[in-house]
């Protein structure tokens, strides 16, 4: 690996587990999701499941953040996995954690009833409101701790949104397969809502409780995983990301409507969620052709689907007066 981290695979995860538990291992399988860490399910001979998350040196700070925020979340009553063992030094950083029953929301969304989607949306809205009641720092953005946001955070929420767009632009220009007019359109719409962004306080929220990291078991919330960072800014950001994730998978957005209803969202809030959905549509486009920690894939079908989503949301923003 480029940062001189040792090879990470199923055998690595098995050895880490065996360092902490005497239970015989029946199977080790890598989870198909997860772009930052290497995440494995370890199943012992008696059928008990555990999760082993392994970080490269480049992503060690994320794992440290996950341990920091897990404690705060647990103290606030947010359902997160129990951590059984952790190491954040060389040669590999890792955590051995409880395996929550169920799977990511995105895997079961299509099978969930309307009432289950509503109940889940209310629970996630409540969790976000709980996190939102934490102290507000002076600065904005994604952070591994309060100390991190205060020392390295952005000066404004506008800066955070712009950084997301700039990252997407960089990826898109690098691959050279996506029309750059999408970038121009997003910047135009964001600029037209600059006053809103400028007035946004640094409210803490979980930025990745989307169709991933929300674990659902038989239609019911089991818990939240992968909370390496907390973001400080606009909690609607996560709703926009979740909406884009649902649309990209061809799902309905009934869950989003329930979420918005649970927080009493007005017309402005709904417009801003659409603006963020466009920002994340651009983000999804930019991920096409990127490696992350997997093979390079450029999906033409996904690119066309994202372009369709972009057109629909952009037209609605324009129709509703932005």
Spatial separation of the C-alpha atoms in residues 102 and 176, rounded to whole Å: 39
Q: What's the pLDDT score for residue 26?
A: 98
Q: What's the pLDDT score for residue 4?
A: 64
Spatial separation of the C-alpha atoms in residues 300 and 308, rounded to whole Å: 13
Q: What's the pLDDT score for residue 155?
A: 98
β-bridge pairing 93-98 and 49-55: antiparallel
Domain 10-98, CATH homologous superfamily name and number: Phosphorylase Kinase; domain 1 (3.30.200.20)
Q: In a structure prediction context, what are the per-residue pLDDT tens digits for the chain, which is 322 residues long?
A: 445 667 899 999 999 999 999 999 999 999 876 567 899 999 999 999 999 999 988 889 999 999 999 999 999 999 999 999 999 988 899 999 999 999 999 999 999 999 999 999 999 999 999 999 999 999 999 999 999 999 999 999 999 999 999 999 999 998 888 899 999 999 999 999 999 999 999 999 999 999 999 999 999 999 999 999 999 999 999 999 999 999 999 999 999 999 999 999 999 999 999 999 999 999 999 988 665 444 556 678 888 999 999 999 999 998 876 4
Spatial separation of the C-alpha atoms in residues 210 and 106, rounded to whole Å: 8
Q: Where are the domains of the chain?
A: 10-98, 103-319
Question: In CATH terms, is domain 103-319 a member of 3.40.1350.10?
Answer: no
**In 48-180, which residue ranges form alpha helices assigned H by DSSP?**
60-75, 105-108, 114-132, 146-152, 157-175
Q: What's the pLDDT score for residue 296?
A: 57
Complete DSSP assignment for 183-210? HHHHHHHHHHTHHHHHT---EEE-TT-S
Q: What's the pLDDT score for residue 292?
A: 47
- Residues 6+ away with beta carbon under 8 Å from 312: none
Spatial separation of the C-alpha atoms in residues 162 and 170, rounded to whole Å: 12
Enter the DSSP assignment of 133. Answer: T
Spatial separation of the C-alpha atoms in residues 50 and 23, rounded to whole Å: 11
Q: What's the pLDDT score for residue 91?
A: 83
Complete DSSP assignment for 255-293? HHHHHHHHTT--HHHHHHHHHHHHHHHHHHHHHTT--TT
């Amino acid at each position: 690996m480029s940062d001189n981290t040792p090879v990470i695979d199923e055998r690595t995860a098995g050895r880490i587990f065996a360092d902490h538990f005497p239970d015989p291992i029946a199977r080790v399988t890598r989870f198909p999701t997860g772009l930052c860490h290497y995440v494995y399910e370890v199943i012992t001979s008696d059928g008990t499941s555990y999760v082993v998350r392994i970080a490269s040196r480049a992503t060690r700070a994320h794992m440290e953040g996950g341990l920091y925020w897990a404690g705060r979340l647990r103290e606030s009553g947010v359902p997160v996995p129990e951590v059984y063992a952790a190491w954040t030094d060389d040669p590999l950083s890792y955590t051995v954690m409880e395996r929550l029953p169920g799977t990511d929301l995105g895997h079961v969304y299509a099978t969930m009833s309307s009432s289950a989607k509503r109940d889940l949306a209310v629970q996630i809205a409540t969790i976000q409101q709980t996190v939102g009641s934490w102290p507000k720092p002076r600065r904005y953005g994604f952070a591994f701790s309060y100390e991190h946001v205060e020392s390295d955070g952005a000066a404004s929420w506008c800066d955070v949104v712009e950084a997301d767009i700039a990252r997407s632009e960089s990826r898109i220009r690098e691959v050279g397969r996506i029309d750059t007019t999408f970038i121009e359109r997003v910047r135009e719409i964001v600029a037209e809502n600059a006053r809103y962004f400028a007035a946004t306080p640094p409210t803490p929220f979980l930025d990745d409780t989307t169709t991933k990291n929300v674990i659902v078991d038989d239609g019911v919330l089991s818990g939240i995983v992968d909370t390496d960072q907390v973001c400080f800014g606009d909690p609607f950001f996560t709703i926009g990301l979740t909406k884009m994730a649902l649309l990209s998978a061809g799902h309905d957005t009934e869950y989003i409507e329930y979420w918005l209803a649970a927080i009493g969202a007005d017309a402005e809030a709904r417009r801003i969620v659409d603006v963020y959905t466009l920002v994340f549509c651009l983000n999804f486009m930019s991920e096409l052709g990127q490696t992350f920690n997997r093979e390079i894939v450029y999906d033409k079908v996904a690119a066309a689907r994202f372009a369709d989503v972009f057109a629909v949301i952009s037209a609605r923003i324009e129709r509703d007066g932005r």
